[in-house]
Amino acid sequence: MRQERILLSHGSGGKLSYQLIHEIFLKAFHNEFLSPLNDQAIFNLPTSRLAFTTDSYVVNPIFFPGGNIGKLSVCGTINDLAVGGAEPLYLSASFIIEEGILIEELRMVVDSMAQTANHAKVKIITGDTKVVERGKGDKLFINTSGIGIVKDGIHLSPLLIRPGDVILVSGHLGDHGIAIMCHREGIQMESPVQSDCAALHELVQDVISRSHGIRAMRDPTRGGLATTLNELAASSGCGMIIKEEDIPIKEEVKGACEILGFDPLYLANEGKLIAIVSKDSAGTVLEAMRKNPLGKDASIIGTVVGEPRGKVLLETSIGNRRILDMLSGEQLPRIC
């Protein structure tokens, strides 16, 4: 493309739109469903239950240590399907582009999306682009929707959670939130934290294939561990107790939280999952998680209890207990 920056006419539907679609998007996402450039993608699905999800990504900045908005938009939607037990198959991708963004930046984001989708064996089969005037956006917003299949025999729901169940997390928490915040604010750390942005569907399938005792799974994105556990407690009608000393958090993240005044239990994650499993299955699930590179630091952090119903309690390292409530307000805006 001759232009270095996105112009309003790239969204006009004319010649520049044609060039943008063919030289940036189609070049990266080429497949048999997208390439005809129909207004829809027509495809066959195996006879089974389907999972369908959508999410929008407005992260600022669009490039950060460990990823960018494109990788995030693919991983995030894959993970929303995966924690429901679904095998992700197809994604849509819609772009709202601000006039003036460098075309090279857009190309880097799109290429990252293509690489992430290819690695995850997921196809981007339909999409849309719009260009808004300079100052009416913030470089780039992306919406991705996804479809996956849920195989027979897989049922995950907070309604299945029972007292006595065990709470696991797949690894260190808070990396994404601290990576974004430090990069955004120009904070230099001796050991910089990278975002944990990753697609979790293979980790989920590894776990599901090893155990039938999984009740529910969630990825603790905005609001972090504390808010996600509160959502699960409210939906299940059970209480939850987690032990502070068993929650995996890197020392660098703890240190940054002390400087910035954040609680790591409320920080966003983009490559971690929470699993609620039966007590008898906990050892098997933990072992399966740790065999996958994305779950090598998995840990059992607590148990489900009958009372207090719908509440989450944190047992501190000195043996006290306090209520761990949902996130109030916005700790870190534009985080995903």
| Least confident range of 37-41, 93-97, 234-238, 282-286 | 37-41
**Which of 204, 189, 183 lies closest to 275, judged by CA?**
204
pLDDT at 331: 75
Contacts by residues 26-31 (CB-CB < 8 Å, ≥ 24 positions apart): 28/107, 28/110, 28/111, 28/113, 28/114, 29/93, 29/110, 29/113, 29/114, 29/117, 29/124, 29/127, 31/123, 31/124, 31/125
> How confident is the model over 155-161, as a mean pLDDT?
97
CA dist., res. 73 & res. 144, Å (int): 6
How do residues 29-73 score in pLDDT, each as one tens digit?
999 999 999 999 999 988 789 999 999 999 999 999 999 999 999
Bridge partner residues of 303 (DSSP): 166, 241
pLDDT of residue 329: 77
Structure-token match 């306090």, residue found: 322
Q: CA of 39: how far to CAs of 12, 126, 129, 139, in Å? A: 16, 8, 12, 25
What digits encode the pLDDT tens for the residues 211-263?
Answer: 999 999 999 999 999 999 999 999 999 999 999 999 999 999 999 999 889 99
Would you state the pLDDT for residue 336? 92
In the numeric block, the tokens 């944190």 are attached to 314
Give the pLDDT confidence score for residue 51 in this predicted structure.
97
d(CA 299, CA 88): 26
> Which two tokens mark 229?
């556990």
Separation between Cα atoms, residue 168 and residue 11, nearest integer Å? 46
pLDDT of residue 139: 96
Judged against a pLDDT cut of 90, whether residue 327 lies above it is answered with no
Asked whether 209 and 96 are in contact (CB, 8 A), the reply is no
- Which residues have a Cβ under 8 Å from the Cβ of 246 and sit 6 or more positions away? 299, 300, 301, 302
- What pLDDT, on a 0 to 100 scale, did the predictor assign at position 46? 80
Residue from 224, 221, 235, 175 nearest 336 by CA: 221
CB 74 within 8 A of CB 334: no
Q: Which pLDDT does position 48 carry in this prediction?
A: 80
Burial label, 284 (beta-carbon count in 10 A; 0-12, 13-18, 19+)? middle
Is the pLDDT assigned to residue 304 strictly greater than 80? yes
Res 103 pLDDT > 90: yes
